[in-house]
Amino acid sequence: MNQDVHKLLRLKRYEMPSSDYFERFMDEFHRRQRAELISRPTLSILFERFMNAFPEFHVPRMAYATVAAAAVALSALILFNQQESGASSSGSFALNSPTVTTLPSAQGDVRFPVSLRSDLPPHYVLETRPVSYESPYSF
Amino acid sequence: MAETAQEPEINDEDLVARTQNGDPRAFDDLVRKYSSRLYGLVYNMTSNHEDTNDLLQDIFAKAYRSIKGFRGKSSFYTWLHTIATNMTINFLKKRSRSYKMSLDDIDNGVQHDPEFIELTSGPDARREVNLKELQVRLNEAMMKLSNEHRAVVTMFDIQGMPHAEIGKILGISEGTVRSRLFYAHRQLQNYLQEFLTT
């Protein structure tokens, strides 16, 4: 039975285009080759020449996954470092810079330093007498 | 049953070497030599003349671009057929299911083919075969096979390649070629029952 199928399929070799098809085919092949030279991007030609020059070169199987994982890890590291440096710089500003109060003004906000010494607790002057937040020791 | 893989009158190695050294006319000779054979391979896998024409152009263009990398580990024949088969299977994976068959005419030589005569006028011929109908049914049956099975059937049954050569082209063992053929023939038997003798 398999032999019958084989005989039947062999008849398909008679399905062929007309005889002048293969003569036209060569002309069409040359025309397409010329057209391809004009239309192909240079990068694509260079890449193909590289691959042809090194036919044994193959991209390793896990290369894309490894590169993607490395990129994610690098991004995470950069973000983490940025956050950490931002936090530490804002902390040092709070500790070292003098206290500033803001007063409303018609021409915008004007800042007046009340104390330039950072080693003293903040204090103010009210009616020529210094005022402090520290609790008084006199009862 | 199997045809010889290489025709002796033109030496492929010489033509390949000349092409690699920059002689495009040598590649033209290779195109002339193999275009008919590759046409049969691609056409019987696609059942469409226009697709075959475009694919065949792309196959030879790809072969020309890659020929510098051809190191002669296999014969040029095997290498070229591997390119053709891979490109055709990739094309078929992308082609929509709603394609239309576009069949070539059948050469008149079929009328004198002993197998055709036996099939249509032998004592156990089941029915009178309408040639056009047979062509359509054969192509429909082929297209019901998977791409991989159709490739094996095309190379073995239609083109007459030996199992070993098919294995090399597809990168599979001879045993796999035989098992694919067995499975494909069994499927084709069902589709073509009415044309087969008991």
Query: CATH number for the domain including B198?
Result: 1.10.10.10
Tokens of A134: 């520290």
Residues B88 and B16 in one domain: yes
Query: Which parts of chain B sit beneath pLDDT 50?
Result: 1-4
Contacts of B153 (CB under 8 A, 6+ apart): A9, B142, B145, B181, B184, B185, B188
Same domain, A128 and A74: no
Scanning B67-196, the segments in alpha helix (DSSP H) are 76-94, 114-121, 131-143, 147-153, 163-170, 174-191
- CA distance between the termini of chain B: 23
Query: Going by DSSP bridges, is the β-strand pair A110-113/A129-132 parallel, antiparallel, or unpaired?
Result: unpaired
Look up tokens 């010889």; give the residue. Answer: B4
Give the pLDDT of residue B114.
77
The parts of chain A modelled with pLDDT lower than 50 are: 93-94
B172's CB contacts (< 8 A; 6+ apart) are: none
Residue of B nearest to A16 (CA): B104
Q: Where are the beta strands (DSSP E) in A35-82?
A: none
Contact A29/B61, CB-based, under 8 Å? yes
pLDDT of the residue at A106: 52
Which of B159, B160, B196 is the closest to A8 by Cβ?
B196
Last residue of a domain, one of B98, B131, B165: B98
Tell me the chain B residues in contact with residue A29 when contact means C-beta distances shorter than 8 Å.
31, 57, 60-61
Same domain, A74 and A103: no
**Co-location of B12 and B88 in the same domain:** yes
B22 and B69: one domain?
Answer: yes
Does B78 share its domain with B55?
yes
Do the chains contact at A11 and B138, CB–CB below 8 Å?
yes
Distance from CA of A6 to the nearest CA of B (A): 6
**Residue B2 pLDDT:** 46
How far does the CA of residue B125 sit from the closest CA of chain A (Å)? Answer: 12
ipTM score for this prediction = 0.79
Q: What is the pLDDT of residue A64?
A: 83
User: Would you state the pLDDT for residue B182?
Assistant: 95
* Residues B177 and B156 sit within 8 Å (Cβ to Cβ): yes
pLDDT at A23: 87
